[in-house]
Amino acid sequence: MHYSSASEALPTWRRLSPFDYVFALALIAGGAFALLRYHAYMDYYEQAVLVASVPTGIALGWYWKPVRPLLFGIALAALASIGLYHHDLARADSNFFLKYLLSSQSAILWMSALFVLSTLFYWIGFLGRSETGGRLGTRLCWTAVWFGFTGMMVRWYESYMIGSDVGHIPISNLYEVFVLFCLITSLFYLYYEGRYATRAFGPFVLLVIAAAVGFLMWYSVARDAQQIQPLVPALQSWWMKIHVPANFIGYGCFSLSAMVSVAYLLKSNGRFVDRLPSLETLDDVMYKAITVGFTFFTIATILGALWAAEAWGGYWSWDPKETWALIVWLNYAAWLHMRLLKGLRGTVAAWWALIGLLVTTFAFLGVNMFLSGLHSYGQL
């Protein structure tokens, strides 16, 4: 089900309100402030990313208005945390707000707890036909995203307080990328929730996020993984800053499509028939999520090959991580091929999307756990 209005037929500039332009100016001012205030901590590539993020954020805010308060909330919370630190990392244990709310670890713990609560309330709303439960699930999910992104931004700053040679964007190890996975998957879910005006597949998508949170908590306890560590030499590259986010947009979308496929299979077998959206809607979300995920995973694979050429002298080495990335790519390429050229639909497409999550999970975690190779720095 796609919701549209007559206004959507107008050119973008005709649909903009004065507040849209105020939002754009505020984002430009914020980007300029960040560049002037923190440029010494950034290399040229990071400065370019910051500059490019301003028009990207403006376009995103114009297209998806709920993201506006999120962007401002993250910026305000991150700046508040930076101000509370006073360039002294030890204040994370002595300042009340840092210790219990705004240090990176506190914010990520809040994110984790709120994602679990969001999952619970989504299921209460779904099973109990409670609009209040579903609405609470949505609000908790948005709040978890805010805490998570705030934690990531603050963690970035904390790494530079440890040392300029330690500072790096927080996407370098399993702990950090699991946080990134939770945030990307939930953001895409929240977009589709608003786009299709239904919370009915929220309980299913939030399950995979809650599972990631469970792994994150276990990993933190077992390996003390929340501690910020210097980058290993293999990761001291600007390629990491674009390769990893693109990869995890792919992982997040593939996971979302798999959980929507669970809802599809349940409905097609007569379960929750009156609580789930139509099979056509579920199929459409599944298809769109795989399309977006495949696009970004393809970009990430190309970027990874360029990174490998710079680091190891060759674009491809049949390293286990590379091999399984290729398997993931071929799986979804085949799914899209069958969809577009052969009209793949129904339970076969849903089962394929669900099995695809198993393949993706092994490529992401299984290779790190059971295989070794050039990417062994990412082992559990």
**Long-range residue pairs from 270-275, CB within 8 A, at least 24 positions apart, any chain:** 272/126, 275/126, 275/129, 275/200
Contact predicate 241/46, CB 8 Å:
yes
Residue 292 — pLDDT band, cuts 50, 70, 90? very high
pLDDT value at 4 more than 50: no
Angle between helices 346-361 and 239-268 (to 10 degrees): 140
Residue 42's CB is within 10 A of a number of other CB atoms, namely: 16
Residue 47 — pLDDT band, cuts 50, 70, 90? confident
Residue 16 — pLDDT band, cuts 50, 70, 90? confident
DSSP annotation of 170 reads S
d(CA 276, CA 129): 11
pLDDT value at 91 more than 70: yes
Q: What is the pLDDT of residue 239?
A: 84
d(CA 131, CA 134): 5
Q: What is the pLDDT of residue 224?
A: 86
Residue 8 — pLDDT band, cuts 50, 70, 90? low
How far apart are the two ends of the chain, measured CA to CA in Å? 42
d(CA 151, CA 144): 10
Q: What is the pLDDT of residue 222?
A: 85
Domain ranges of the chain: 90-231, 249-373+376-380
Model confidence pLDDT, tens digit, residues 154-203: 999 999 899 888 888 899 888 999 999 999 999 999 999 999 999 999 99
Q: Among 253, 271, 262, which residue's Cα sits nearest to residue 354? A: 262
Residue 318 — pLDDT band, cuts 50, 70, 90? confident
Contact predicate 104/151, CB 8 Å:
yes
d(CA 88, CA 122): 40
What is the chain's mean pLDDT, rounded? 90
Model confidence pLDDT, tens digit, residues 194-226: 999 999 999 999 999 999 999 999 999 888 888
Q: Stretch 317-340: mean pLDDT, rounded? A: 92
pLDDT value at 85 more than 80: yes
Q: Stretch 134-156: mean pLDDT, rounded? A: 97
pLDDT value at 3 more than 50: no
Residue 318's SS3 state is coil
pLDDT value at 376 more than 90: no
Residue 2 — pLDDT band, cuts 50, 70, 90? very low
Q: What is the pLDDT of residue 9?
A: 52
d(CA 66, CA 53): 18
